[in-house]
Amino acid sequence: MKLVKAGSNWVAGDRFFNRDAEIEALMERVQDGRHTLLTAQRRMGKTSLVRELLRRLDEEGSFETIFVDLEGAFSPADAIAEIGIQTRSMQKTWSRIMSGFGNVVHELRDSVDTVGIADLWVKLRAGIDAGNWRQKGDEVLTALAENERPVVLAIDELPILVNRLLKGDDYRITVERRRTVDELLSWLRKNGQVHQGRICMILSGSVSLEPILRQAGLSAQANIFSPFELKPWDERTAVACLAALAENYDLTLPPEVCRNMCQRLRCHVPHHVQQFFDSLHEHLRRTGRRRASLEDVEKVYNEEMLGVRGQVDLEHYDSGLKMILGREGYRTALEVLKLAAIEDGVLRGDCIGRFREHFPAADEGDPIPIEDVLHVLEHDGYLARQGDRYRFVSGLLEGWWRTRYGGGRASSPSISAGSAHKAEQWP
Ligand SMILES: Nc1ncnc2c1ncn2[C@@H]1O[C@H](COP(=O)(O)OP(=O)(O)OP(=O)(O)O)[C@@H](O)[C@H]1O
Ligand SMILES: [Mg+2]
């Protein structure tokens, strides 16, 4: 099998590899009309999985599909406008939705071909405000539910909107902000229930919804969505992906080379597998060769994957943490990761105790207790719990943090939390 390299954006069709079992499971949920919350750590291929699912559903023809990205939404009204605008290819539904927009209706109905999407969005958005978004939202979803074929509504990056609404720019959860989130989720939940069987929702996001709702005490609001965890590829699949990429670019990657690549990554996040292949391919091109050796893998891993390229990727992980944890919680997370990195990838139970002393939960300077920080780090796939300790899941992430903050490997595994504390200047 041949596979075309991915950029860093989502993939579908001939760039989409494997995930047959996941597609089958999601197809079954769609057939059964079950709403899904897709969860996974960053870059695992959530958006790609949903896009590919919708592509196959479109091909098959029993469902109408809509993909909505809420990354740019700042309010419930923005979200409704975004869902509304994505219905524009469904002629009847679009007309019905627009007829709810009073005097702009003719303009909107006629302008779909002539006005750019951005202009159309602005016009649509002008008819929705903080007072009527629920009513307008109900109209949009009712119109969708009345479509001839049932609709699969995929909403990506809802957690980013929820997080924004909940914490604002100062990362403080206020009563007012919590109420807004509660209203948005109640609205979604109500519509999910009312239109069960006509609209099947799939939620996903680059940051996880569950820890955010937990911070706000609103976890129950998501319980109409059955969680579906997208796991990393196993080693056999990652090796098969490398082989398919190699075949397409006429490269020879001997089995021990593929295995070595996978062992270094330890956790086979599809994006990391793709990045590793691309870096190796570029390296071979530069040196005018087509066959990779173990030495090539070592060089590319240390210089590219852990080097500039890796640090660029690490920024994405960083930004997700900052967004969820806020300034103070992020600072704690950095210390946790830094300490685990220099301690051979392990955060020991006694170190967690020290964090508790340094960052007490109720301290007004730090609204995020260490338990919540660890929960986010665990949920987002950085660390896995093992008894009373935590360990880095991915060899690559461990390497990144060690390179960036650890200043090289810890000279001895017996280095104490106390000495790390001094060396790294904990606050
Ligand atoms: N099934 C797949 N086949 C091949 N490559 C994949 C697959 N899934 C993901 N990838 C690789 O991972 C990259 C990221 O994919 P995608 O954007 O779907 O992940 P994501 O989990 O939505 O990321 P984020 O957490 O940033 O939202 C893609 O550019 C591609 O390189
Ligand atoms: Mg995504």
- Domain presence at residue 338: yes
pLDDT above 60: residue 374: yes
Q: Closest ligand 1 atom, CA of 274?
A: 31
Which token pair is 64? 């109408």
> Residues of the chain with pLDDT > 70: what percent?
89
- Domain presence at residue 10: no
Q: Closest ligand 1 atom, CA of 51?
A: 18
At which of 271, 289, 305 does a domain end?
A: 305
Most distant CA atoms of the chain, gap in Å: 73
Bridge partners, residue 152, by sequence: 65, 200
104 pLDDT tier (thresholds 50, 70, 90):
low
pTM of the model: 0.91
The confidence score (pLDDT) of residue 117 equals 82
User: For residue 424, which of 355, 360, 372 has the smallest C-alpha distance?
Assistant: 355
In this structure, the residue with its CA closest to atom 12 of ligand 1 is: 271
Taking the C-alpha atoms of residue 117 and residue 11, their distance in angstroms, rounded to an integer, is 23
- Domain presence at residue 13: no
> From the CA of 106, how far away is ligand 2's center (Å)?
35
Lowest mean pLDDT among 48-52, 126-130, 184-188, 260-264: 126-130
Taking the C-alpha atoms of residue 341 and residue 330, their distance in angstroms, rounded to an integer, is 16
Residue 323 is part of a domain; what is its CATH number? 1.10.10
Q: Which domain holds residue 35?
A: 19-229
Q: Closest ligand 1 atom, CA of 157?
A: 27
Taking the C-alpha atoms of residue 141 and residue 121, their distance in angstroms, rounded to an integer, is 17
- Domain presence at residue 5: no
In this structure, the residue with its CA closest to atom 9 of ligand 1 is: 45
**N-terminal to C-terminal alpha carbon distance within the chain:** 53
The confidence score (pLDDT) of residue 232 equals 97
Q: Closest ligand 1 atom, CA of 5?
A: 31
- Same structural domain for residues 276 and 375? no
Taking the C-alpha atoms of residue 164 and residue 178, their distance in angstroms, rounded to an integer, is 11
The confidence score (pLDDT) of residue 413 equals 30
| Under 8 Å between Cβ of 150 and 65 | no
Lowest mean pLDDT among 53-57, 101-105, 184-188, 368-372: 101-105
- Same structural domain for residues 322 and 391? yes
pLDDT above 50: residue 422: no
- Same structural domain for residues 392 and 301? no
- Same structural domain for residues 409 and 262? no
- Same structural domain for residues 158 and 211? yes
Taking the C-alpha atoms of residue 81 and residue 75, their distance in angstroms, rounded to an integer, is 10
What DSSP line would sit under 82-104, residue for residue? HHHHTTTTSHHHHHHHHHTTGGG
- Same structural domain for residues 398 and 411? yes
Helices (H) then strands (E): counts for the chain: 19, 8
Q: Which of 15, 20, 48 to mutate to test the pocket of ligand 1 (most atoms within 8 A of CB)?
A: 48
Taking the C-alpha atoms of residue 217 and residue 211, their distance in angstroms, rounded to an integer, is 10
- Same structural domain for residues 184 and 215? yes
Which token pair is 203? 């939620």
Report the pocket of ligand 1 as residue ranges, CB < 6 Å.
6-11, 16-19, 40, 42-48, 206, 270-271, 274
Render pLDDT for 209-268 as a digit per residue (tens, 0 to 9): 999 999 899 999 999 999 999 999 999 999 999 999 999 999 999 999 999 999 999 999
Bridge partners, residue 38, by sequence: 228
Render pLDDT for 6-21 as a digit per residue (tens, 0 to 9): 988 999 999 999 999 9
At which of 172, 197, 229 does a domain end?
A: 229
In this structure, the residue with its CA closest to atom 15 of ligand 1 is: 45
pLDDT above 90: residue 111: no
Task: Report strand pairing: 151-156 vs 64-69.
Answer: parallel
- Domain presence at residue 12: no
Taking the C-alpha atoms of residue 90 and residue 72, their distance in angstroms, rounded to an integer, is 23
- Same structural domain for residues 397 and 353? yes
- Domain presence at residue 9: no
Instruction: Give me the number of domains the chain comprises.
Output: 3
At which of 305, 321, 350 does a domain end?
A: 305
| Under 8 Å between Cβ of 288 and 63 | no
- Domain presence at residue 3: no
Residue 24 is part of a domain; what is its CATH number? 3.40.50.300
